[in-house]
Amino acid sequence: MRTLPCYLTEKSRSGLEERTGRLEEKLSSCALCPRQCRVNRSEGALGYCQAPAELIISSVFAHYGEESPLVGSGGSGTIFLTHCNLRCLFCQNYEISMGGEGRQYSHKQLAAAMIDLQRRGCHNINFVTPTHYVPAILRGLSLAIDQGLSIPLVYNCGGYESADVVKLLEGIVDIYMPDIKFLDRGLSDRYCNAPHYPDVAKEVLKEMQRQVGDLVMDERGVARRGLLFRHLVMPSHGENTKDVLDFIRQELSRDAFVNIMDQYHPCHQAFRFEEISRRPSVKEYNEAVEYARHIGLRRAGHK
């Protein structure tokens, strides 16, 4: 039996409007992410992410390259947002995350894009890097609900989120998809200028797990609700990968759905660092998958 997205209940009792207003208040002294830049984005100031208050979108399309529970037969309705609060030195989409390639969308245009993806048969609306645009996304979501939106909402992020913001998204987001990058403070400082990334990610991932639990799929194998983890295997950092997998298994869930990704290749400024200036070897990747199975993560591997 098909379950309805949780945001429909929140909209019906006016909770969506109240949450959106509270998030918009954070723009005047921006506290939407752990950077806590405190710039007034409502008046045009730019913080670390360099994103304006207005929504800038790079692309909108039915994505068939995402994890199989998101793709199904109709694709994942992906909305790729510009800029990023992490700005990793090895980013493979740096033209978008740092260069800001895209165009401005109004709330109405965003709603229309979401409805169009649903009409085309997509199984979900997948917001990629939504952290710094959450207020605008919720304004568009509200309009889309009025027009008949009824497929799950995916929050596809880098794991560097404000716990307060994530708590405000309870009952709105159906599927969280964080990419857990590092649980080593030295690595997150070196590559992302975010030494406290491990502490932030641990707190936020526990909150996401509390809200939506393990990934639940329908009879077709399509995701309806829950948490889907990603971890990118990087060269030379096998111990960090083990730490990430141990954390998921020991502090979140042995039934966690974990996509152990093998597509890292050196981009942007990665060549500045010899240890990550190459692709991970087949051996490094296979060791990551084998370790996940060894510790009892039953739903981990290449998805």
Query: pLDDT tens digits for 117-158?
Result: 999 999 999 999 999 999 999 999 999 999 999 999 999 999
Q: What is the mean pLDDT of residues 207-231?
A: 97
Q: For residue 294, is pLDDT > 90?
A: yes
Q: For residue 2, is pLDDT > 70?
A: no
pLDDT tens for each residue of 71-126? 999 999 999 999 999 999 999 999 999 998 999 999 999 999 999 999 999 999 99
Three-state SS string over the chain comes to CCCCCHHHHHHHCCHHHHHHHHHHHHHHHCCCCCCCCCCCHHHCCCCCCCCCCCEEEEEEEEECCCCHHHHCCCCEEEEEECCCCCCCCCCCCHHHHCCCCCEEECHHHHHHHHHHHHHCCCCCEEEECCHHHHHHHHHHHHHHHHCCCCCCEEEEECCCCCHHHHHHCCCCCCEEEEECCCCCHHHHHHHHCCCCHHHHHHHHHHHHHHHHCECEECCCCCEEEEEEEEEECCCCCHHHHHHHHHHHHHHHCCCCEEEEECCCCCCCCHHHCHHHCCCCCHHHHHHHHHHHHHCCCCEEECC
Q: What is the mean pLDDT of residues 4-23?
A: 90
pTM: 0.96
Percent of the chain at pLDDT above 90? 95
Parse the chain into domains and list their residue ranges: 6-301
pLDDT (0 to 100) of residue 268? 94
Q: For residue 237, is pLDDT > 80?
A: yes
Task: Indicate the pLDDT class of residue 303, thresholds 50, 70 and 90.
Answer: confident
In CATH terms, is domain 6-301 a member of 3.40.50.880? Answer: no
